Amino acid sequence: MSKKHSKRFSALIKGHDKTKELALSEAIKLLKTKSNTKFSESMEAIFFLNIDKAKTDQNLRTVVDLPNGNGRKVKVAVICGNDKLNEAKSSGAEISGSEDLINEINSGKVNFDVLISTPDMMAKVGKLGKVLGPKGLMPNPKLGTVAKDIKSTVDAIKKGRIEIKCDKDGNLEVNDYIEARLPKPEGLGLMFGTFFERMAMLALQNDDWQKATEHEKQNLQNIS
């Protein structure tokens, strides 16, 4: 049974050839011309990565610095030693503390979006795994949330550093990260280009890169 669409949706796709491939700039321009609501619409893009999630070396979980941010306010907490508390308080983080903050989180009070820890505190932060793990908030050096330089790390997160990871099917959906209301069309192109570039960098680091044909390598290198 075919899915029934609204009159508005049918009008928006009328005359559009779904089999025609568009350049990124053309696709974004078309998308913006179709946006006709009074509220801020979101948009979705899916990268079909063909990742086998059963293989741990193929799992995608990394960070991307969005050039225009993603329009959302992020509440940052910092756990550090007492000697770094002043730096943490002046870094722009909303919450900062040492063992007192660890105890507070361990009691179940989690009122932040991102948690940063200095390396020397990770041995104590480790006991928060049961609280932070299920929420995806455990500091991780691979994601840049275990860091000595508190100020620059907070700045990067506030400016638009986000975590990306593949879904259960091994693909990357970016509808949560790029919203139509944010930049102008050229800004959206820059944001998508940032994702493309990151995907290309990850592919270059992957062993499967060595098996790719010269044509595939050239396409990937030019994708951004």
Q: Which CATH class is domain 22-69+162-221?
A: alpha beta
pTM for this one? 0.69
Across the strands, what pairs with 218? none
C-alpha separations of 76 from 45, 153, 170, 190, 192 in Å: 27, 10, 29, 26, 25
In the sheet that holds 95-97, the strands lie side by side as 95-97, 76-79, 114-117
Where do the structural domains in the chain lie, given as residue ranges? 22-69+162-221, 76-158
List pLDDT tens digits, range 158-209.
988 888 788 888 787 776 555 544 455 556 777 777 777 777 666 655 555 4
Q: Tell me which fold the domain 76-158 belongs to.
A: Rossmann fold (3.40.50)
pLDDT band, very low/low/confident/very high, at 145 (cuts 50, 70, 90): very high
Residue 95 CA to residue 194 CA, distance in Å, equals 30
Chain centroid, CA 221 distance in Å: 21
Of 160, 214, 203, 210, residue with least CA distance to 47: 203
